[in-house]
Structure 1
């Protein structure tokens, strides 16, 4: 059974999964606000008892980015930091250069009213600035589930202790490019987003949940964690089989949001 090191870095958060409610994890959100509510409705999500954790990238590419940022103020909504979240955080200051963010889908911010822009700035200062780079979920059966946005380290303790390079955590794709099946040490399972795939992908004990939300023909994937590793594995397999039966069209790398980029 994995054990946490004594030195837990401030960029990492450890959360015990409650028994009296359900915990769900969702791949990159990318402005897909309506799709998220549809997933929650289908799952019977109870905002008074249940919790949702997003694997980063709340905005860009999709249609309702402003609404997705506002979710950070909800007590049931949680997220790790993604590279698009960091781009937003760096760009929302009125004196900042927003070109790099626009190129990557941040043009929606220019279409907001001045009041809405100020609200996004406040939410960035109040919430995005404090998002963890990674999380460990402690399940009642003793299992440890790691959550982060991009590339998982070879040893989960690198994330917990803050030794993993920030660029790798937010932007990395080495594991998926190399098709590396080596399991991450000191953790049972790691759920990541960042790299879009047409279906849930597994490499070793790393699960990729980004299924192209925000792209044409893409979709959002949300999975219940459950109370044990066995239950999580069963929920993942059930989602994989359900998606396979739906015969989804392959997504294309074309954002669904109608706003300027570049």
Structure 2
């Protein structure tokens, strides 16, 4: 049995099909885990959602997945470039959205912590899992609309253990689905979205923040397409810009082999150890 973690799809269903062929995916033997942002911007988000739901695929929630839920609930408008209407017009919309909001914010498996964006430096892996569970409970509960109504916002900018209510859930959500750069004390910056050299003064890529409590524990994440493929001892980045004509990347957890397929209709295939 092999476990394959696949980076951001954002509706790129043909690339996913190519990846499944490349890794010779056997649903009876293998496990697929998607790193969030299953939907939006690409043209086949509905197909991705239906495939993942129908095949009981594991996945963590990304910011675009949460955006879909907020738009469907009427708390957020379509953004320029959104491609969510086929889902919202689908006859099985309610079933798809219900499946989506029951996905976890993070998964811990085989010694790896899987999350869409990142982990704030004040969080250990065990605390991050517990905090993810708080958001999951809010999103899966009968009052999930209350969470979606107050989900958006950049404040508070950093974590404190005494945070409560919507502020607490918002910081957890932002850290795990939007984080790129933060200060040594965990203050998040949401303006810089390019590569490592775009860090604002006094800020670090979250995985290089000083005294990060999760340091040494392998974390696999997506979200940061400008970062590209990164394989370090305790952090592995898998968003390689499939949506933008880059590659779709997958990591086999058992041996850390990386598989890539070219997106945008190109047939090239790459593999790395």
- Do the structures match in fold with TM over 0.5? yes
**Hey, what does 2:119 align to over in structure 1?**
152
**Hey, what does 1:136 align to over in structure 2?**
108
Question: Helix, strand or coil for the counterpart of 2:208?
Answer: coil
Residue 219 of structure 1 is aligned with which of 232, 247, 270? 247
Once residues 101 and 208 of structure 2 are traced to their aligned partners in structure 1, the CA distance between those partners, rounded to angstroms, is: 33
**Is 2:203 aligned against 1:174?**
no
**Is 2:85 aligned against 1:110?**
yes
Whether the aligned pair in 1 keeps the contact of 2:68 and 2:84 (CA below 8 Å) is no
Whether the aligned pair in 2 keeps the contact of 1:146 and 1:187 (CA below 8 Å) is no
**Hey, what does 1:197 align to over in structure 2?**
226
Whether the aligned pair in 1 keeps the contact of 2:11 and 2:42 (CA below 8 Å) is yes
Once residues 207 and 166 of structure 1 are traced to their aligned partners in structure 2, the CA distance between those partners, rounded to angstroms, is: 20
Once residues 125 and 87 of structure 2 are traced to their aligned partners in structure 1, the CA distance between those partners, rounded to angstroms, is: 39
Once residues 75 and 187 of structure 1 are traced to their aligned partners in structure 2, the CA distance between those partners, rounded to angstroms, is: 33
Whether the aligned pair in 1 keeps the contact of 2:215 and 2:234 (CA below 8 Å) is no
1:241-260 deviations in Å (ceiling 9; x for gaps): x9xxx799xxxxxxxxxxxx
**Hey, what does 2:168 align to over in structure 1?**
none
**Is 2:16 aligned against 1:36?**
yes
Using a 3 Å threshold, how does the CA distance of structure 1 residues 131 and 187 change in structure 2: closer, same or farther?
farther
Residue 235 of structure 2 is aligned with which of 206, 213, 238? 206
Q: Which has the higher contact order (CA 8 A, sep 6+)?
A: 1
Residue 40 of structure 2 is aligned with which of 54, 60, 63? 60
TM-score normalized with structure 2 length: 0.65
Once residues 107 and 223 of structure 2 are traced to their aligned partners in structure 1, the CA distance between those partners, rounded to angstroms, is: 16
Using a 3 Å threshold, how does the CA distance of structure 1 residues 197 and 41 change in structure 2: closer, same or farther?
same
Stretches of structure 1 lacking an aligned partner (at least 5 in a row): 1-20, 139-143, 249-262
**Hey, what does 1:80 align to over in structure 2?**
60
Once residues 44 and 59 of structure 1 are traced to their aligned partners in structure 2, the CA distance between those partners, rounded to angstroms, is: 24
Question: Helix, strand or coil for the counterpart of 1:66?
Answer: helix
TM-score normalized with structure 1 length: 0.68
**Hey, what does 1:251 align to over in structure 2?**
none
**Hey, what does 2:138 align to over in structure 1?**
none
Please say which of residues 158-167 and 50-59 is displaced more in the overlay.
158-167
